[in-house]
Amino acid sequence: MDYKKVKTETIAVTRNIEDFTKGTNNVYETVTILSKRSNQISLEMKEELKQKISEFTSTTDNLEEIFENREQIEIAKYYEHLPKPSLIAIHEYLNGEVFFRNPHKEHQDDF
């Protein structure tokens, strides 16, 4: 998913708790789903940032040769201004873009 194109709030917003119980009928289960999705998004963003910054790493470890790289700073600033992974996860959940299942509930239905 392209997180740069997600149009969501960049700050925390008061939300209706009823919206979070529609898919699961349990707010705690929803929080777990949001937490796991937020971690997935965070890892993807971190890997992408590492990959972009690794292009600018130098092969020498000499402290005298360290210099300020404007492009690297701009990339870091760009990622700082993206919405937080938890806000992206909430946006995806409320728009029905998150797939989830509870294997414990599925297993209990078999009995």
CB 85 within 8 A of CB 10: no
> What's residue 31's pLDDT?
93
**Measured in whole angstroms, how far is the alpha carbon of residue 41 from the centre of its chain?**
3
Residue range 2-12, pLDDT digits in tens: 666 677 777 77
Counting as low any pLDDT under 50, the low residues of the chain are 111
Task: Give the span between the Cα atoms of 111 and 109, in whole angstroms.
Answer: 6
Task: Give the span between the Cα atoms of 38 and 43, in whole angstroms.
Answer: 9
Query: Tokens 């509930």 belong to which residue?
Result: 105
Burial label for 16, CB within 10 Å (0-12, 13-18, 19+), is exposed
> What's residue 105's pLDDT?
73
Q: Tell me which residue of 92, 105, 110 sits closest to 44, measured CA to CA.
A: 92
Residue range 53-67, pLDDT digits in tens: 888 766 665 555 556
* Inter-helix orientation angle 27-54/85-94, to 10°: 130
Q: pTM for the complete prediction?
A: 0.75
